[in-house]
Amino acid sequence: MQDTGAGIDSAAIGSAAAAPEALIMVEHLGKAVQDSSGTLQILQDINLRIAARQTAAIVGASGSGKSTLLSILAGLDVPSSGTVRLDGQDIFALDEDQRAALRASKTGFVFQNFQLLGSLTALENVMLPLELAGQRDARRLATEMLQRVGLGQRLQHYPKLLSGGEQQRVALARAFVVRPQVLFADEPTGSLDFATGEAVMALMLALNQELGTTLIMVTHDRELAARCDLRVRIEAGRVASIEA
């Protein structure tokens, strides 16, 4: 375990510490917001390097800043200071439209509350990112991915007719069908019972390995975190420790 303390420089994360081999590089990242009492510092001097194909769990108490960190890594939120590079590209040197295009081409997302479109069937939900990317064989690819996650018999079911575990499997299929370089997951088993969460967790890690995706997740699930290559603990907006 690497106990880094405040102001960590975690350049040694993973087996390949050299910057050129890092898929995701975070340098001196900070996030501050203004409230009625003044400036609230949410993240302070975060430094991370994550290699391609690694799995990383961001852990910590509620309110520690881990979800904010995930949102910034995904380009969904903007930092107050520092840089995030994805495959060498400083994502905050891009405007919003360019960041959206980068996310569409390189990333996937899985959320605790699934975020499926209720008006679309399971198949249509999985087809959607493919169609937005201009894939002509979206139906075939979506069908194959739903079959891979065990939902070949649920293609025409709407989310309200699916269990929580089935909805999360649709969400996994939607995220992985575009074969993203990086998958961001925010508490992917948080709303599921233990047995269902175990099954979803095993499926997510299996798909990640099969497709060679870099997986970064926020989780309170200690067992899920333990199965990742890296465990990054956030305390009071700083990286407190890294375990590899």
- Asked which of 6-15, 18-27, 94-103 is least confident by mean pLDDT, the reply is 6-15
What pLDDT score does 5 carry? Answer: 42
Model's pTM, two decimal places? Answer: 0.86
Q: Higher-confidence residue: 90 or 113?
A: 90
pLDDT of amino acid 83: 96
pLDDT at residue 226 tops 60: yes
Q: Residue 10: what are its φ and ψ, rounded to 5°?
A: -95, 45
Would you state the pLDDT for residue 112? 86
| pLDDT band (50, 70, 90) for residue 67 | very high
206-225 pLDDT per residue, tens: 999 999 999 999 999 888 99
pLDDT band at 73 (very low <50, low <70, confident <90, very high): very high
Identify residue 104 by its one-letter amino acid code: A
Residue 162 has pLDDT above 70, yes or no: yes
What is the biggest distance separating any 2 CA atoms in the chain, rounded to whole angstroms? 54
| pLDDT, mean over the chain | 89
More confidently predicted of 59 and 37: 59
Q: What is the pLDDT of residues 123-146, one digit of tens each?
A: 999 999 999 888 889 999 999 999
Q: What is the pLDDT of residue 20?
A: 42
Strands (E), the chain: 22-35, 38-51, 55-59, 81-86, 89-90, 107-111, 182-186, 214-218, 230-235, 238-243
Does residue 58 surpass a pLDDT of 90?
yes
pLDDT value at residue 12: 39
**What pLDDT is stored for residue 244 in this prediction?**
87
**Domain ranges across the chain:** 118-178
pLDDT mean over 179-194: 92
pLDDT for 133: 87
- Which strands, in side-by-side order, build the sheet including 238-243? 107-111, 182-186, 214-218, 55-59, 230-235, 238-243
Question: What confidence tens digit (pLDDT) does each residue in 89-105 have?
Answer: 999 999 999 999 999 88
